[in-house]
Amino acid sequence: MFDINALLVLEHSILKMGLLMKVFSGRYIRKAYNAWADHYDADFRRNKWNGPRKLFNVLSGSYDLQRKGTKLLDLGVGTGLLSAEFKRANPDIHITGIDVSSGMLEECRKKKVVDEMVNANFEKNGIPCEDESFDAVVSSGVFELINKPRKVIHEMGRVLRPSGAFSFTVYADSPMDYSCIRHDDDVIEDALEEAGLEVEGKQRFYAFNHYGNDIYYNLYTGRKLSR
């Protein structure tokens, strides 16, 4: 009468869809990261999370972020692992960090590397900052939690000044089913073009180890086109 395998596949897809919808709602992210905040750094030290260091090395190798008063925005700042890299290299940089999790921001506050912290959901409500107010916009380990990358990239373009630099990571691939959102390269690259953000570098890199599996991300770097 009916194909049991087809039924199982359908059931699996529905379960997975439900899980994704739950996992990546703003409310779920806030709760999950609030619960994770006090041991996030220890976990990523163990997993050797390489995103912040990699992003910092690539961006600071090609763009001048050493000027006093350079304004940098860290989207999904978390506990400040990425911001810490930039602050260490230039104590005079001014960093704004946005995160939906107050628990992650509390941990970040202890590091004293972020000058201004904003508790907000930038995917849902946009980036609560003025047009062209940053010299650089960065984000590591966040796009795999974002449902609408086009909206977030548009917002990045809006708050970045002409010729300002951007850099962010996007989940690329892994040998196992790693439950986070993978965006097609075309979706990211079309969104960047629409936002007036020119890609100057894209590289796949080893991001961290997840229960014995190597996870790879892509790192996008570039500039906002001048008018």
Ligand X SMILES: C[S@@+](CC[C@H](N)C(=O)[O-])C[C@H]1O[C@@H](n2cnc3c(N)ncnc32)[C@H](O)[C@@H]1O
Cβ count within 10 A of residue 94: 17
Convert residues 118-147 into a mask of x (bound to ligand X by CB under 6 A) and - (unbound).
Answer: ---xxx----------------xxx--x--
With 0-12 / 13-18 / 19 or more C-beta atoms within 10 angstroms meaning exposed / middle / buried, residue 63 is buried
- In the chain, which residue ranges form alpha helices assigned H by DSSP? 4-23, 26-47, 51-62, 81-89, 102-111, 122-125, 149-159, 185-194
- Regarding 114 and contact with ligand X (CB under 6 A), the answer is no
List, in order, residues 6 or more apart from 176 with CB less than 8 Å away. 210, 213
Convert residues 142-171 into a mask of x (bound to ligand X by CB under 6 A) and - (unbound).
Answer: x--x--------------------------
Shortest Cβ 126–ligand X spacing (Å) = 10
With 0-12 / 13-18 / 19 or more C-beta atoms within 10 angstroms meaning exposed / middle / buried, residue 216 is middle
Pick from 59, 65, 72, 82 the residue near ligand X by CB under 6 A. 82
Shortest Cβ 169–ligand X spacing (Å) = 8
Q: Which amino acid is at 166?
A: F
Pick from 50, 60, 65, 78 the residue near ligand X by CB under 6 A. 78
Pick from 65, 95, 99, 183 the residue near ligand X by CB under 6 A. 99
Residues that bind ligand X in the complex, under the rule CB under 6 A: 26, 29, 33, 51-52, 76-78, 81-82, 98-101, 104, 121-123, 140-142, 145
